[in-house]
Amino acid sequence: MNILAIESSCDDTSAAVLTAEGIQSNIIASQSIHLQFGGVVPELASRAHQKTITQTVQQALEEADVSLDDIEAIAVTQGPGLLGSLLVGICFAKGLALSRNIPLIGVNHMDAHIYANFIDHQPEFPLLALTVSGGHTQLVHVTSPFEHEIIGKTRDDAAGEAFDKIGKLLGLPYPAGPHMDRLAKKGDPQFHKFPQALLHKGLDFSFSGLKTSVLYYLEDKNDEWIQEHLNDICASVSYAIAEVLVKKLKRAAQQTSVKSIVLAGGVSANSMLREKAEGMAAKLGIPLYSPKISYCTDNAAMISITGKLKAIKGQFDDLNLKPFASLT
């Protein structure tokens, strides 16, 4: 089945084409307008999607060397995300589906992050997913495709949110996560011991205390001192976040007896997290998979592979498909 996929849940407009030979294109149009605000402005995001979605889809089709006549299903992000942004993608997908009589498939954005691992790998079920992004931090037990149970989640800030907010305190551009990761590689993770909340308690996460701790730590430091020790601070923050994520992941893996572990979401691109998770999984003797970096952040390739899995199960939608800001 040739699938056209559309992703517009936040501030990236993306379109991809999946054929029997695999991903043929994965176009991502990022929005630079939010940089000046230090975060995504929902109204500006939806307007930017409207301006770029047509050309993004066209570029994806051209790069894949297919036409709309070749497309047999359209997969589109249904949620969670910003309602205005989701509406742009869904309305565009509905228009194509109606005009071309093409089946429509609504996709849960968080499911798609997990199934991004199936683009290049074949993790065995049951599997455990650590999904970490700007809006979510979850441990998900997956017994079979679309049979999920969230067994751990953040009680406040998500891991990606903590990276971005702490990065803002350090004067780094938005989104700060990739910048902190790059700087952390040159720093000392033991430079300062930041708190690791709920480390020995259950499977839930909490990162708001870490953000506050960094704020208090920096309040009597001048800009010159911060710049001098920036690499070490980033490394120490990254260590505190990755340590909690991996120890919770290990605890969940031991409790669920899974056959595979997967990393998912934008923060799964973090090099320290990947390194720690790989070491942990090797000690447990459980295969660990993670998407290639271009499939970690929001992208339509992950929507296409999830759409394919839903199509195999006969899970199609009609034109009543609605967006949802929150979707489990």
22 is in an annotated binding site: no
181 is in an annotated binding site: yes
Q: How far is CA 20 from CA 119, 170, 287, 308, 314, in A?
A: 12, 46, 26, 10, 17
133 is in an annotated binding site: yes
160 is in an annotated binding site: no
70 is in an annotated binding site: no
Structure tokens at 231: 């690499």
113 is in an annotated binding site: yes
131 is in an annotated binding site: yes
Q: How far is CA 253 from CA 94, 142, 225, in A?
A: 40, 12, 41
Residues 128 and 67: their CA atoms lie apart, in Å, by: 37
135 is in an annotated binding site: yes
Cβ 159 vs Cβ 198: under 8 Å: no
H-helix segments, the chain: 42-64, 83-100, 109-115, 159-169, 177-184, 208-218, 223-228, 230-256, 271-284, 300-312
49 is in an annotated binding site: no
Which residues sit in the known binding site for Fe cation? 109, 113, 298
Which residues sit in the known binding site? 109, 113, 131-135, 164, 177, 181, 270, 298
Which residues sit in the known binding site for substrate? 131-135, 164, 177, 181, 270
